[in-house]
Every structure is written in C-alpha cells, then in structure tokens.
C-alpha cells in the first residue's frame, strides 16, 4: 500500500515538473523569437531591459 502511495506521489510530481519544464522551454523559445525579431526601437529595448530586471528580481526572491 505504501509503495502504491509513493508511486502515485512520484508520478504526480513528475507530471507537474514535466509541465513546468515544458512551459519554461516554451517561454524561452518565445523570448528568443522576440529577441531575434527586434526592430531596434527604443521602446522595445526598454521593455526587454525591464523584463530581464523583473525576472532577475523575481528569481532572487524565490530562491531564498
């Protein structure tokens, strides 16, 4: 019985991790696609810098 419960927990965690990893790679592909289509505008550059700053601050706060 305990083995079955552990295996169900493992499968649930594995599935959640796989979904999160898939979402992360999809976001990365989208971000790289947007970076490569950059038209050189100042607004686009400022938005890129702001998104990197927000992401960096968010990752620092969640890693603690």
Measure the CA–CA gap between 1 and 51, rounded to whole angstroms.
47
Place of tokens 């990365």: 28
Q: What is the mean pLDDT of residues 10-37?
A: 88
Structure tokens at 47: 């938005």
CA distances from 11 to 1, 3, 4, 8 (A): 15, 12, 10, 5
The structure's pTM equals 0.49
48 neighbors 35 (Cβ within 8 angstroms): yes
Structure tokens at 61: 């706060």
pLDDT of the residue at 40: 72
């Amino acid at each position: 019985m305990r083995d079955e419960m552990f295996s169900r927990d493992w499968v649930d965690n594995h599935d959640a991790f796989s979904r999160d990893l898939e979402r992360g790679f999809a976001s990365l592909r989208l971000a790289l696609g947007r970076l490569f289509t950059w038209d050189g505008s100042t607004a686009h550059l400022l938005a890129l810098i702001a998104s990197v700053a927000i992401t960096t601050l968010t990752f620092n706060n969640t890693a603690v």
